[in-house]
Homo-oligomer: A and B are copies of this chain.
Amino acid sequence: MPDYTQSTSLNSNRIIDTPTGLSDEMKQAMAQLPTPSLDAVKANSPSTQDQWLEQIHMVNTQQKKKVKAMRKHFNVSVELMSVAGVNVRKVTPTHISTCFEDKVYIDFHGGAYVFFSGLPSIEEGILLASRLGIVVYCVDYRMPPSSPFPKALDDAFTAYCHLKDNYGAHNIFVGGTSAGGGLALSLLQKLKQQNIELPIAVYAGTPWADLTNTSDSLLINEGVDRILVSYQGLLHAAATLYAGKYSLTEPGVSPLYGDFTGLPPVILVSGTRDLFLSDTVRVNRKLRECAVRTQLEVFEGLSHADYLVAHNTLESLAVYKEIKQFFLTAISTQ
């Protein structure tokens, strides 16, 4: 493993104020959730299967509580099903938008390819279902330590193909945040490669599109991003665990290194403090170089996936409003 100490240790004692230009709700949300110290994050690097399982259990237990409360608050119905052997939860909101009556959205959850299996996998699905007014299928794809790459992509592929046969690709949107955004992009590249009909449009929320350590924001926003804090420690360990015997630059693992030609329109979301800001903008540029229609939205002062973590904020509402609008435009220009 390379030594990143010199170039990144300089942020370790940084005192960072809350950004001025945030909504009051976001400021409050930031104040409520303590940010782990950079040193603690860097030191957290599980190596044995037991260490991983313990940490995954701890994180998922906490997240399950949040998601149960969200399920109740947003009053969605959740149906667990097997889609050609893949665990999927169908999330149905109380109100379906007229324009989305015959449409569905397939969601891939985040969690660095290790966290948020089971009920936690529907966190963003709940928001998308409720705020867009659309039926959402949340894919509970297999993950390490038991199932490294390409199991997650296999499951994403299987679920998409099966739902496509049911609904037709012209009625499907796909997307996700963080690892889920990366997985959605890898899925699209694989579908394209195999000449399988593509969905209408894609949502890539701060996608983990490059699992190596080359994105500039991994350096610049280290110790600045309150959610991920650093690539070192957990993220690097998760990247290695997920890739398994594959290279981190394998397009299925890091879609940034894949071919974006011929993809449907993609909306991308990030924040100025996001550790994956560079992943997001690099994907945007690659897409545009391939003449893919994109919309990039970067939010002032937001760290990685803040719009999802702190969903009760104006910033979060704005994100899902943009996604809805983008999807509507994609339908009208199909």
Interface residues of A (CB under 8 A from B): 6-7, 10-11, 13-17, 19-21, 214-217, 219-221, 224, 272-273, 277-278, 281-282, 284-285, 288-289, 295-301, 318, 322
Chain multiplicity (copies) = 2
Q: Would A278 and B297 count as touching, CB distance under 8 A?
A: no
Q: Would A278 and B282 count as touching, CB distance under 8 A?
A: no
Q: Would A216 and B19 count as touching, CB distance under 8 A?
A: yes
B residues near A289, Cβ cutoff 8 Å: 318
Q: Would A21 and B300 count as touching, CB distance under 8 A?
A: no
- Separation of A277 and B289 alpha carbons in the complex (Å): 22
Task: Output the least CB separation between A272 and chain B (Å).
Answer: 5
Which residue of the partner chain B has the closest CB to A298? B281
- Separation of A6 and B16 alpha carbons in the complex (Å): 10
Q: Would B288 and A278 count as touching, CB distance under 8 A?
A: no
Q: Would A10 and B11 count as touching, CB distance under 8 A?
A: yes
User: Known contacts A7-B15, A318-B285: does B272 contact A216 (CB below 8 Å)?
Assistant: yes
Q: Would B296 and A296 count as touching, CB distance under 8 A?
A: yes
Pick from B216, B295, B298, B301: contact of A300, CB below 8 A.
B216
B residues near A284, Cβ cutoff 8 Å: 297-298
B residues near A214, Cβ cutoff 8 Å: 20-21
- Separation of A278 and B270 alpha carbons in the complex (Å): 12
B residues near A277, Cβ cutoff 8 Å: 272, 298
Pick from B16, B17, B19, B281: contact of A272, CB below 8 A.
B281
Beyond the given A17-B219, A281-B298, could you list 18 further A-B residue pairs with CB under 8 A, ordered by the A residue number?
A7-B17, A10-B11, A10-B14, A10-B15, A16-B219, A19-B278, A21-B215, A21-B216, A21-B282, A272-B277, A284-B297, A288-B318, A288-B322, A289-B318, A295-B295, A296-B296, A296-B297, A296-B298
10 interchain pairs, CB-CB under 8 A? A10-B11, A16-B220, A19-B278, A20-B216, A215-B300, A216-B301, A220-B221, A282-B300, A285-B299, A298-B298
Q: Would A299 and B281 count as touching, CB distance under 8 A?
A: yes
Q: Would B7 and A10 count as touching, CB distance under 8 A?
A: no
- Separation of A278 and B221 alpha carbons in the complex (Å): 14
- Separation of A214 and B17 alpha carbons in the complex (Å): 11
- Separation of A11 and B299 alpha carbons in the complex (Å): 23
Pick from B6, B16, B278: contact of A301, CB below 8 A.
B278
- Separation of A295 and B265 alpha carbons in the complex (Å): 14
B residues near A14, Cβ cutoff 8 Å: 10-11
Task: Output the least CB separation between A7 and chain B (Å).
Answer: 6
Which residue of the partner chain B has the closest CB to A22? B216
- Separation of A15 and B216 alpha carbons in the complex (Å): 13
B residues near A282, Cβ cutoff 8 Å: 21, 300
Which residue of the partner chain B has the closest CB to A215? B21
Task: Output the least CB separation between A209 and chain B (Å).
Answer: 11
